[in-house]
Structure 1
């Protein structure tokens, strides 16, 4: 059976939608603008919407199951890189999930605590009451099987004592759930023990909501197979010793994850914050992926916190977020975590593979040139010619694109010019009439 996503990038927009419809992964009713009324109630001082393209990176084979990943991004090479990496990884057996945990962390920070040790022991000694308060604060999450799982207390500098609560928010990202539970506990502790709370808030460093995924690649399936394994390993190795490179290394990972989070209506800032904090948790900023050579094979691993959700917030309101989740076809937050981690690993592989072989510009600049051609005013039938013209001259600029269009105007531009100049129009008409009469 042929793959409907073969040369997906060459299809037009309607053909791509038809592919998704054939797999029951598309709904025309969700492919709509939400409207000013909806947006005006989501944010303050709403004036308009800002459009970002939504595309598909198809055929991600994860634990034996195929996913077609929706990505909202303005960067030309992101989806192309992810799709290319997915093809290579599929030929090598796909992605494996090595481990996953799914709990969130919140903090109640008490200030001006003079006898910190006594207060810490007090909090640890009222465990039954704290769990009771958590259930009272949010009975629904507990009835559904989630809620407070555990807590710990730490003494901090400057007379702070912090209670860290681990909470299962099920399929929601859970910020409101966490904050509701924390505030109820804090209020009780304040009134009972006459202490002050600085704040009660979730943490975006979600060390209890972490997924680890891996791939195993045969160098024979890659370009420069005799040296590619060592090159990829060295690319990781260098990122592990230089924070300047590590920052760009991790940014490449987030290119994919952030695009998926934006498409599915998740909090991209929370995900980015958690990822970069996790990269620094040892006190040194490190890459979120690791690439090793094991028995001649290339093993890539990603370990990343993902405080995401599949229900709640604006994702239940925005039609395009619903459409993205329909395309992705995941049934839980854990499943979305798996897909997001694998996408980040694929995106990282695509970048490192390009950097250590042809260089990042070969593919990226061609896609960038497309944007330049469109900005210069190229029509659909001119875009490829303009791109090639700029690439042949190794000058991807607006002036170069305009220079080509000036020398090679489209038929419509020629006709427009003629009709705008009546004398030329009449002369051409007269010549055409004379020619026709000569044929009689």
Structure 2
């Protein structure tokens, strides 16, 4: 069936959008309508709130909201809320938290909270004249003409930290930037930064137009391309770390020295090998994104920033590092991330407000530390498994329930399999094989026929 474009889709009611979707793409499937509606909130006001978070909403997409307890961070005990659908993420983080609970816990340090934005523009005139005008008058005028925008932020000890004229003509002909550095305190600050940048662009154009030292041709050549914050925030960075004497790291039949040697080697491989670093960092982001989502922050911006930072030296590399010095093992992450605890969803989404309450209503800096700790814990747990028992044993045991749910196993069957795999390695094939034996059938297809 060939689909047709739709006009005025956004003006349809929610029911109208669903009806169009089902008729146009799902062959009139009534079950699809039931599926979408069963995820609506019974509370009409709450559902209206969710509908207004985005556009063209027809239902809600739920993710598990879990808790990872026993995180000792800067000598204070936390339970970290995590929103994630991947098996074993919460379990791995919790296991790492418990491991470090008696070894001093996690320490965090906010190194810097500076965020960046740029006015991108083209200019074909005298570069030295532009540079002199920027330093002599334009820079001060940019700050002056954003005073109304920055007033409330300045009252909270934030605002514009610095403005620079950046010459990028070596990379692209006639290309310049006004680079703004900002402090946005406990808000993520995107709207604030973008508002400032758009005013900078207007002021820049007006000041050049009013300056008699610029020729008509030079004035006409100044063209604003765009004004936008950067999600790469290498100067908005937090460090999270753990450390303990090497002898405290014995792992089952593996001596402390052997464990540290294997662990350090695994980190080093991720530092030098991009293929491994990508998977290594993806695991780190499992922990980070889970907390970012649970606290109503933009996980896509956090992801983009982290991966840009991982490649800042010209080759994609590990976000975590370790060392042994004077008999002390140390493992850490430097994470660039811009987060907010006020504004956006943080004051609107009921679960987000609850998550921030669980964390003690942290400042943006405190949340940065908690998020970094979650990533470090996730990475420690993964590497610990990789260099000892292997990653699949623990991961597949957590994945077991997903396989059983796909097979529509009964509660008694689930209990049987949890017990059955207590001392065995879970694989998809093994579960299917044993499930068919239990049901007395030769294949899953026979079960589906029933």
Assess same fold via TM > 0.5: yes
Aligned partner (choices 125, 131, 147) of residue 159 of structure 2: 147
Confirm or deny: 8 A CA contact 2:65 2:294 kept in the other structure: yes
Q: What CA distance in whole angstroms lies between the structure 1 residues aligned with 2:43 and 2:80? A: 19
Q: 1:117 to 1:248 in 2, by over 3 A?
A: farther
Instruction: Describe the shift of the 1:402–1:115 C-alpha distance in structure 2 as closer, same or farther (beyond 3 A).
Output: farther
Q: Which of 410, 424, 428 is 1:396 aligned to?
A: 428
What are the ranges of 5 or more consecutive residues in structure 2 without an aligned counterpart?
A: 1-41, 209-218, 442-450
Closer/same/farther in 2, CA of residues 312 and 33 from structure 1, 3 Å limit = farther
Name the structure 2 match of 1:133.
Answer: 145
Alpha-carbon shift at residue 80 of structure 1 (Å): 0.6
1:45 and 2:73 aligned: no
Q: Distance in 2 between matches of 1:207 and 1:160?
A: 22
| 1:422 corresponds to | none
1:173-194 deviations in Å (ceiling 9; x for gaps): 0100000011111111112214
Instruction: Give CA-to-partner distance per residue, 1:32-69, whole Å, 9 cap, x none.
Output: 89733112222111111111101011111111111110
Q: Find 2:113's aligned residue among 92, 95, 102.
A: 102
> How far apart, in 1, do the equivalents of 2:313 and 2:44 lie?
44
Secondary structure of 1:186's counterpart equals helix
Distance 1:34 1:208, change over 3 A: farther
CA contact (8 A) 1:304 1:341 kept: yes
> Could you tell me how far apart the structure 2 residues matched to 1:98 and 1:71 are?
22
Q: Distance in 1 between matches of 2:46 and 2:205?
A: 44
Distance verdict in 2 for CA 1:227–1:201, change over 3 Å: same
The answer on whether the counterparts of 1:71 and 1:262 sit within 8 Å (CA) in structure 2 is: yes
Q: Would the alpha carbon gap of residues 37 and 360 (structure 1) be closer, same or farther in structure 2, given more than 3 Å must change?
A: same
Determine if the alignment matches structure 1 residue 326 to structure 2 residue 354. no
Contact 1:151 1:166 in 2 (8 A): yes
**What does residue 96 of structure 2 align with?**
85
Q: TM-score, normalised by structure 1?
A: 0.81
Q: CA deviation at 1:392?
A: 4.3
Counterpart position of 2:129: 118
Q: Deviations over 1:116-153 (max 9, x none)?
A: 34323322333322221232233221222211111222
Which SS does the other structure have where 1:58 is aligned?
strand
| Contact 1:218/1:297, CA 8 A, preserved across alignment | yes
**What pairs up with 1:4-403 in 2 under 5 angstroms?**
35-125=46-136, 126-156=138-168, 157-158=171-172, 159-193=174-208, 194=219, 195-219=222-246, 220-223=248-251, 224=254, 225-389=256-420, 392=424, 395-397=427-429, 399-400=432-433, 402-403=435-436
Native 8 Å contact 2:153 2:184 kept in 1: yes
Q: Deviations over 1:283-316 (max 9, x none)?
A: 1111111011222332101101111111111221
Conservation of the 8 A alpha-carbon contact between 2:109 and 2:369? no
The size of the alignment, in residue pairs, is 380
Q: Is the 8 A contact 2:356 2:362 kept in 1?
A: no
Instruction: Give, in whole Å, the separation in 2 of the partners of 1:186 and 1:42.
Output: 30
Closer, same or farther: CA 182–50 of 1 in aligned 2, 3 Å = same
Q: CA–CA distance in 2 between the matches of 1:312 and 1:148?
A: 19
**TM-score, normalization: structure 2?**
0.80
Q: Does structure 2 conserve the Cα–Cα contact (< 8 Å) formed by 1:133 and 1:181? A: no
Aligned to 2:119, the other structure's residue is in SS state strand
Cα distance between partner residues in 1 of 2:404 and 2:244? 37
CA RMSD after TM alignment:
2.3
The answer to whether the 8 Å contact 1:32/1:319 transfers is no
Note the residue ranges of structure 1 that are not aligned, 5 or more in a row. Answer: 1-30, 409-440
